[in-house]
Amino acid sequence: SYIFQDPLSTLHPLYTVGHQLIEAIRVHQSISLESAKSRALSLLKNVQIPNAEERLNAYPHELSGGMRQRVSIAMALVNDPELIIADEPTTALDVTVQSQILNLLDSLRRERGLAILFITHDFGVVSQLCDRVAVMYAGQIVEQGPTETILKSPSHPYTSRLIACVPKIGRGQGSLETIPGLPPSLDKIPRGCAFANRCANAVEACRSTDIKMTATTNRTHVRCIAYSFEKQEIMQ
């Protein structure tokens, strides 16, 4: 199943929440209208929507952003999926509601034994919810491995710079870190490492060699020529 970024544009504005949930249930399951309504009500309760009976008859615009996203999560759970793809599901929400939604997703995945593929640009979200992380740049995975390992000891220069850009709370005033340069156009991806023109450690081989994912000593895999050369030297 899929959870979209903006629930207001995902849910149909002319139909009630209950109507949309019941439709999703009956399209995939041969059950009566009454059974589907009971299932829809149960799903709303599972995602911790208060006064679930009343919310069944509410239209999307009558709900808060957090409530709408809970309805979207309920919609994703309709057919008991083994995998949910969550595409930036907390971006349109304020910080307090973000935390509530993340806690809800975490508890649902544990209770139901399902996996969540979480698409996000927020490392705070990654650290709170994810067991493993894959960092992408220009449409390609550049580093992947256990979340705790990558957040503490990133191997790829892009991952390192990305984590450095996260503001540090309680450190007083100071300049914010940035990554110089611009990402390449996706219709003109350069050969070699797409991050080379923004990397302070780049060498000529970075721009001329197809770089493979390489295993590191800390259980991660990284697409960086420095690790490719290091592995070749060890093998020799």
pLDDT at 172: 67
Q: Is the pLDDT of residue 54 over 50?
A: yes
Distance between CA atoms of 70 and 65, rounded to whole angstroms? Answer: 9
Banded pLDDT at 82 (limits 50, 70, 90): very high
Q: Is the pLDDT of residue 115 over 80?
A: yes
Distance between CA atoms of 100 and 119, rounded to whole angstroms? Answer: 18
Distance between CA atoms of 216 and 145, rounded to whole angstroms? Answer: 10
H/E stretch holding 115 reads strand 115-119
pLDDT greater at residue 192 or residue 173: 192
Q: Is the pLDDT of residue 198 over 90?
A: yes
Mean pLDDT comparison of 103-107, 167-171, 172-176, highest-scoring range: 103-107
- pTM across the whole model: 0.84
Distance between CA atoms of 122 and 37, rounded to whole angstroms? Answer: 36
pLDDT at 230: 55
Name residue 91's amino acid: T
Mean pLDDT rounded to a whole number for the chain: 90
Domains of the chain, first to last: 2-129 (3.40.50.300), 132-235 (no CATH)
pLDDT at 9: 86
pLDDT at 236: 32
Q: Is the pLDDT of residue 234 over 50?
A: no
Question: How would you class 219 by CB atoms within 10 Å of its CB: exposed for 0-12, middle for 13-18, buried for 19 or more?
Answer: exposed
Averaged over 229-235, what is the pLDDT? Answer: 45
Averaged over 65-90, what is the pLDDT? Answer: 93
